[in-house]
Structure 1
């Protein structure tokens, strides 16, 4: 079970636009914790620490332990508002996590063994249909990535979610179809040869001197 990352948080008494601005002037980001049987809780967090976590690229698929002056709340980020001009976070939403909770998260797809793909070796192109897959998985076992093996794939191959090994306890949220993860696209050998022949003929024609 992955250990939750601890983040210091503070109770935020004043709400609204004015309260949020006051929090930001103090070097903090306003936020809210919602979900479960408890009432929503207005909080603030250190801007530097939140920005550091966002830069990992896994912020919204990471479970955090929010330390509220000794009271700890287990939660996962569910939304980040960003300043449209200066591109820094200005508000964060967290979802409380009950014991044995499951969550929906977007997990990146990582492709392995490209060098072992005969189709790619022959000039094929990896056409990625899904760079991320939304999974429903235990909050204590959120995968960093989904690994897809390209070894043995040929031009024209199409691989679907049913052929991909998912982490234990994880299932795709799309259940009504066997959706495509990637295909190997490329030109046929005859087309490539025809292009090469045409180029050679054009070069030979340019090299010949016109007859008088």
Structure 2
């Protein structure tokens, strides 16, 4: 079952810079929900909610249920504008989800088993090529993350798209067949190290 993170919001009646400034003066962050061939909804959010979600990581693929005074909307958080000096959120864009309309999301990759990988135990270096993958997904099947097990990797081995868990219902945007996610490189040697002179 698809899990949604609920966000409480209040409705905003007016659009425009003046209305947005008034919302910020009230201590809230103006936001808009667009998409799914519907008129945009104007809402206001507690800035602490936005900061919390950004600090959790993976917010670009997290599914939200926005509760604006009883009106509930399923959406993705698309963009957060930050104040250039304070880094406080000053505006948020949400994309409304519609069943059957595939959406573009960025999904984070979780790596496990690094401590068991024989190549790393032998001094190899894990080189993560991609921490995230951009995919197209149905709103009902957006993965919260992909997982990859590194425990069998030896030096010069790699992990590819087909090795990830949780990719069954999505299509990667990268047009490279079975692209590389991570590799284990051979240990680097320090040519500057010279044997100590015998005394």
Structure 1 CA distance for aligned equivalents of residues 3 and 166 of structure 2:
21
Structure 1 CA distance for aligned equivalents of residues 180 and 166 of structure 2:
15
Residue 81 of structure 1: CA displacement? Answer: 0.7
Residue 33 of structure 1: CA displacement? Answer: 1.0
Residue 2 of structure 1: CA displacement? Answer: 2.5
Matched with 1:14 is: 14
**Structure of higher CA gyration radius:** 1
Counterpart check, 1:203 vs 2:197: yes
Q: Deviations over 1:125-179 (max 9, x none)?
A: 0011101111222323332321111122111123321333333312212234332
Structure 2 CA distance for aligned equivalents of residues 113 and 166 of structure 1:
17
Alignment of 1:1-212 (within 5 A): 1-187=1-187, 199-200=194-195, 202-204=196-198, 208=199
Structure 2 CA distance for aligned equivalents of residues 3 and 154 of structure 1:
36
> Structure 2 unaligned runs (5+)?
none
Structure 2 CA distance for aligned equivalents of residues 62 and 45 of structure 1:
17
Contact 2:145–2:166 under 8 Å retained in 1: no
**Matched pairs, number:** 199
Residue 87 of structure 1: CA displacement? Answer: 1.1
Q: Give the structure-1-normalised TM-score.
A: 0.83
Give the number of the structure whose residues are more often helix, by fraction. Answer: 1
Using a 3 Å threshold, how does the CA distance of structure 1 residues 15 and 52 change in structure 2: closer, same or farther?
A: same
Q: Give the structure-2-normalised TM-score.
A: 0.88
Root mean square deviation of aligned Cα: 2.2
> Structure 1 unaligned runs (5+)?
none
